[in-house]
Structure 1
Amino acid sequence: MSLAISAEPAPLTVNLDGVVRVGGTRVTLDTVITVFKQGSTAEEIVYRYPSLRLGDVYASIAFYLNHQEDVEAYLKQRQQQAQEIRQRNEARFDPQGLRDRLLARRVEQQG
């Protein structure tokens, strides 16, 4: 019996927004790599995100380790996008006094 060895593509897909997802799930590559860099094992990652398959997590980590510079650039870009979105939302919806406004609205609705 001989073992057939073939390369499998990384279980990563890019959606229309440019977000990389793992193994056909909604879990992002950002999430998997962030918790991996925090010291989580592949098994721990699957435990935290049960929609993932263990082989897909290992393959995603391997992809990261083999393409670390490119993935780090992608992660940095995603962090910048998140910061820009956060700033736009804070400009549109002033977070100062939000709790007070919500409580006042509740009192108006109850009274």
Structure 2
Amino acid sequence: MTLTILADVAPLQANKDGVILVGKTRVTLDTVVAAFNQGATAEEIVYRYPSLKLGDVYGTIAFYLNHQPEVETYLKQRRQQSEEIRAMNQARFDPQGLRDRLLARKAENEM
């Protein structure tokens, strides 16, 4: 009996927004890489995110280790997008202004 060796495709897919997801879950590549970089094992990652399959986590970690510069570039772009969206939302929905309006409304109702 001989063992046939086939190259497995990384268990990653991009959704319609360009976010890379692991396996057939909504867990992002960002999440798995962050947990791995914090020292979590593949088993611990699956424990934290039960929708993941152990083989998919190992495959994702292998992909990350084999393509680290590209993945780091992707993660950096995701962080930049996140910061831009956060700044845009804070500009549109000023939390301090909302707090002041709610406190004023509360004060009016207490009179």
* TM-score (norm. length: structure 2): 0.89
Distance 2:107 2:3 in 1: 71
Which residue of structure 1 aligns with residue 43 of structure 2?
43
Structure 1 stretches of at least 4 aligned residues deviating more than 2 Å after TM superposition: 97-109
| Structure 1 residue ranges without an equivalent (≥5) | none
Secondary structure in 1 matching 2:96: coil
Residue 70 to residue 103, structure 1, CA distance change in 2 (3 Å):
same
Partner Cα separation in structure 1 for residue 63 and residue 46 of structure 2: 17
C-alpha change, 1:68 and 1:97, in structure 2 (3 Å) is: same
Letter in 2 for 1:91: A
Q: SS of the residue aligned with 1:96? A: helix
Structure 2 Cα separation of the partners of residues 40 and 5 of structure 1: 29
- Alignment match, 1:90: 90
Residue correspondence of structure 1 range 75-86 to structure 2 within 5 A? 75-86=75-86
SS in 2 for 1:13: strand
How many residue pairs match? The answer is: 111
Give the SS at the match of 2:21: strand
TM-score of the superposed pair, with normalisation by structure 1 = 0.89
> Which residues of 2 match residues 1-111 of structure 1 at below 5 A?
1-102=1-102
